[in-house]
Amino acid sequence: MKGKHLLVTGGAGSFGRAFAKHVLDGLDGPDRLTVLSRDERKHHEMEHELARHSDRLRFVIGDMRDALRVDEIVAGADIIVHAAAMKHVPSTEANPMECVRTNVEGARNLTLAALRHGIERVVALSTDKAVSPSTVYGASKLTMERLMMQANAPGQTQCSVVRYANVFASGGSVVPLFLSLRKTGVLPITDPEMTRFSISMQEGIELVLFALNEGRGGEIVVPIAPSYRVGDVAEAIAPEAEKKLIGARPGEKMHEAMFSLTEAPFVVRRGRYYIILPTSGGWSRERYCAETGAAPIDRLFDYESGSNDEWLSVETIREMVFQGGGNAV
């Protein structure tokens, strides 16, 4: 990214803050980094956190739903990391059109502006909830993925997508909830056998950097990640506490998937990642494997958290939570 102007939408969120710090501290960081979000308080906090990079850092207030504002901000950028989203499932279920306006219309505004201004690369953050979606949030992210794939323009603007798993111990995960309630002696649990994929924040940053540096446009990059059971997280954090079963929230799945059986014929493995190749146009699976060293998966399967080959044990979870001070990353 050296010599480039990087724009991070939703850049004041947990990922954006960690990503900005990582790339600005790096030897090959961008010459300029623009943070776009609606949260002026977080902008102020980031200004203090990253004061040593003030000469390269710019903060802009804007809403992804405002096409004119998005166009103004995109102009002059070289690379865009699109992390802005409405993402808390209960809020998106209660406010479905607000979710659509931010996650779908916002993505469309971004892709149109990126194509109009000839942006080199766009990497958008999606989620495992986009696979066979059962919530408004998941459906909005699936639509966002499709918009990005449609916008990919070889030789003009290269668009790729990464699918995130749960970032362990992040603000929206069960870890901080269980930590805050363990002294009460009661932990609310949806279902002890409910499973999720887990990645650290650093792994999430590396996932986006892989897509930026190695992506060819039109693909979806999926991390190969371990799973955990909700019951094991509760046991690791508060083994003596009562586990009160409260049932799943509307649309909440027992297990999440990183790719579906429908997508499996287009999946190859490349190091620590699965790559879902474009279903048409672009480049063939054979060509991609020949040029990158990737290999087709040897059987078709759903990459699902409940049937994963790799798991976090209770002991490992406990170490991640408490040795990391409750902020495992």
| Tokens read off for 41 | 């308080």
Q: Cβ distance 211 to 123 under 8 Å?
A: yes
- Residue keyed to tokens 């909440």: 252
Is residue 171 left, alpha or beta, with left meaning phi > 0 and alpha meaning psi from -120 to 50? alpha
Residue of 129, 141, 243, 253 marked catalytic: 129
- Counting Cβ atoms within 10 Å, is residue 66 exposed (0-12), middle (13-18) or buried (19+)? middle
- Residue keyed to tokens 């802005």: 84
Q: Cβ distance 222 to 273 under 8 Å?
A: yes
Q: Cβ distance 6 to 78 under 8 Å?
A: yes
Distance CA 171, CA 125 (A): 17
- Active site annotation includes 129: yes
Please identify every residue annotated as catalytic.
129
